């Protein structure tokens, strides 16, 4: 049992061994952000004496109790939620001095749901098959993580924006300070994330405060937005939230600490749900605050902020079909309205281009590419547009920016799921069971449908390729073609499918559609 007791900078933790993997769960990487610390930046943990029990997962961040959200997050059991959620989990072959490469996972969930302890993110296969150390963690979500109060409360109250990102930076600092005691190498840290997690990583690449905290990056279906919100946007959003909470402007001069600390969490989540209903699935995202993010993260990467960070990045061919199938027309309409609000006339123009592409395909009696082909052309165009504007095009832009300074590998996940009568296609999050080598979970069966067993070979290829990148800085696996770097103008991209292949600039038409709306940097 002694090899499971590890000394951290804040005290000793006692873990467990399960299926040959040493595990430590629920380790605090910051002080609980409760009471007067609500909405404020994370603080280092308070040191403890004796051995802290690290055999059970900590509470996940407060989020919706809606069963659809739980389904999207992959939860299958009742989840304990709390604002006291800033904890992480470590999996390792052993707490020794082997200095193994470290994988740090930032979970997705639209910045409003999910956790690092979801069964899908059990990193045991990375540990046993590839001799890696795996770290997962929770961070504040929704209003608790992204409500910007810095321009409304008095300056001496210490409010800042983007505390979601500050939580993530705190977790990465904890890894740098402590992972060697768990058998990991603090000089070989790969940060990996999907959806909101990938958006966070794309943003952290452009944040000076995160520089040096990770050495490689894997971004799955996400990057910093094409037109990120700024501080004025965030402040206007905060004013609308305070109005819904009944906290008037006259109370701001006296400070927000008491008023906001006392709002019941159930009320905050209810307001958050209403905002999601009116603004769409992407209602909560990081913003350029002029402090943590001095400017657009992709612009910062373009100028070398993410230099020396080899990057593996990509998207799924049919990103938005997941939300169309599971959330229905209301989610589509809300997301359309928010996009139109952000892009103005550009939204109608680019939607017309997408719709025309489908109409040309129909006239030529050839199927339109992607699972959206099962919808009417107007709807199909919106579905592909929403996936592209939120996920695929930002990934392309970040890849182009980062390729100037570091090795970049690009992929597109094209494996079509037969689930829901084929309406998923190669949908958002479908690659996750493959990457984590977790095809036996209920969430994998839900996403992959009846062909889950037939996906085994591809799952091992992806799992091994990702591990090769984490270990050696270049993705490769038996059964996959040689994977060249992504470099304009060729833009070599691995199309991951039942028979994977490399294609040059496969998203050329998408890039062309967006060239006027969101031009690439010169």
Handedness of CA 21, 24, 26, 29 (dihedral sign): negative
Q: Which two tokens stand for residue 184?
A: 């990991």
The catalytic position among 62, 319, 400, 431 is 319
pLDDT for position 76: 43
Q: Which SS3 state, helix, strand or coil, does residue 488 take?
A: coil
Q: Which SS3 state, helix, strand or coil, does residue 170 take?
A: helix
Based on the residue annotation, tell me whether 195 is a catalytic residue of this protein. Answer: yes
* Measured distance CA(324)–CA(285) in Å, rounded: 20
CB 315 within 8 A of CB 391: yes
Least confident of 121-135, 155-169, 486-500: 155-169
Helices (H), 74-221: 124-130, 142-146, 163-178, 196-204
Q: Architecture of 2-341+371-514 per CATH?
A: 3-Layer(aba) Sandwich (3.40)
Q: Is the pLDDT of residue 474 over 90?
A: yes
What percent of the chain has a predicted confidence (pLDDT) above 90? 68
**370 — pLDDT class (breaks 50, 70, 90):** low
Q: Which two tokens stand for residue 6?
A: 């590890």
**1 — pLDDT class (breaks 50, 70, 90):** very low
DSSP 43-92: -PPPP--SEEE-SSPPPBPP----HHHHHHHT--S---B-S---EEEEEE
338-362 residue pLDDT tens: 888 878 888 888 888 888 877 776 7
165-217 residue pLDDT tens: 999 999 999 999 999 999 999 999 999 999 999 999 999 999 999 999 999 99
The catalytic position among 195, 224, 296, 500 is 195
Based on the residue annotation, tell me whether 428 is a catalytic residue of this protein. Answer: yes
* Measured distance CA(214)–CA(308) in Å, rounded: 10
pLDDT for position 67: 59
More confident residue, 94 or 511: 94
The catalytic position among 315, 428, 431, 500 is 428
* Measured distance CA(241)–CA(274) in Å, rounded: 10
More confident residue, 512 or 287: 287
Tell me which H or E stretch contains 456. helix 456-472
C-alpha distances in angstroms, 129 versus 73, 95, 123, 467, 474?
A: 26, 17, 10, 9, 17
Q: Which SS3 state, helix, strand or coil, does residue 403 take?
A: coil
Q: Once rounded to an integer, what is the mean pLDDT over residues 481-497? A: 97
pLDDT for position 369: 58
* Measured distance CA(198)–CA(192) in Å, rounded: 7
Beta bridge partners of 87: 28
216-272 residue pLDDT tens: 999 999 999 777 889 999 999 999 999 888 887 666 556 565 678 889 999 999 999
């Amino acid at each position: 049992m002694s090899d499971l007791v590890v000394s951290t900078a804040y005290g000793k933790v006692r873990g467990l061994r399960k299926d040959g993997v040493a595990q430590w769960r629920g380790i605090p990487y910051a002080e609980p952000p409760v009471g007067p610390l609500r909405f404020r930046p994370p603080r280092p943990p308070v040191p403890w004496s004796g051995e802290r029990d690290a055999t059970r997962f900590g509470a996940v961040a407060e989020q919706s109790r809606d069963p659809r959200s739980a389904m999207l997050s992959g939860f299958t059991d009742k989840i304990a939620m709390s604002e006291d959620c800033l904890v992480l989990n470590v999996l390792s072959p052993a707490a020794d001095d082997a200095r193994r490469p470290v994988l740090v996972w930032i979970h997705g969930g639209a910045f409003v749901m999910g956790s690092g302890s979801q069964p899908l993110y059990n990193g045991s296969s990375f540990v046993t098959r590839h001799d890696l150390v795996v770290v997962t963690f929770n961070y504040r979500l929704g209003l608790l993580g992204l409500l910007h109060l810095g321009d409304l409360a008095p300056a001496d109250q210490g409010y800042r924006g983007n505390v979601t990102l500050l939580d993530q930076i705190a977790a990465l600092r904890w890894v740098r300070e402590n992972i060697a005691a768990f058998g990991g190498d603090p000089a070989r840290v790969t940060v990996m994330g999907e959806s909101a997690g990938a958006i966070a990583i794309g943003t952290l690449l452009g944040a000076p405060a995160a520089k040096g905290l990770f050495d490689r990056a894997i971004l799955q279906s996400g990057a910093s937005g094409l037109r990120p919100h700024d501080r004025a946007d965030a402040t206007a959003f905060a004013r609308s939230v305070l109005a819904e909470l009944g906290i008037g402007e006259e109370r701001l001069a006296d400070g927000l600490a008491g008023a906001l600390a006392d709002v019941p969490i159930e009320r905050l989540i209810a307001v958050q749900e209403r905002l999601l209903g009116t603004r769409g699935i992407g209602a909560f995202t990081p913003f350029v605050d002029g402090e943590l993010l001095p400017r657009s993260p992709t612009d910062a990467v373009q100028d070398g902020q993410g230099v020396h960070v080899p990057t593996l990045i990509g998207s799924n061919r049919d990103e938005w079909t997941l939300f169309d199938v599971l959330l229905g027309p209301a989610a589509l309409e809300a997301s359309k309205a928010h996009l139109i609000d952000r892009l103005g006339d550009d939204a109608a123009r680019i939607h017309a281009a997408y719709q025309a592409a489908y109409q040309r395909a129909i006239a030529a009696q050839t199927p339109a590419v992607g699972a959206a082909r099962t919808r009417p052309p107007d709807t199909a165009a919106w579905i592909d547009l929403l996936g592209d504007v939120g996920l695929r095009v930002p990934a392309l832009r970040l890849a182009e920016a980062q390729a100037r300074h570091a090795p970049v590998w690009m992929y597109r996940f094209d494996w079509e799921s037969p689930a829901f009568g084929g309406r998923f296609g190669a949908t958002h999050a479908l690659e996750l069971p493959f990457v984590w080598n977790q095809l036996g979970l209920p969430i994998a069966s839900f996403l992959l449908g009846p062909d889950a067993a037939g996906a085994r070979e591809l799952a091992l290829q992806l799992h091994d390729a990702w591990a090769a990148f984490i270990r050696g800085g270049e993705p490769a696996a038996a059964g996959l073609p040689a994977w060249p770097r992504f470099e304009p103008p060729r833009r070599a991209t691995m199309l991951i499918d039942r028979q994977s292949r490399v294609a040059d600039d496969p998203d050329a038409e998408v890039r062309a559609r967006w060239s006027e709306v969101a031009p690439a940097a010169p």
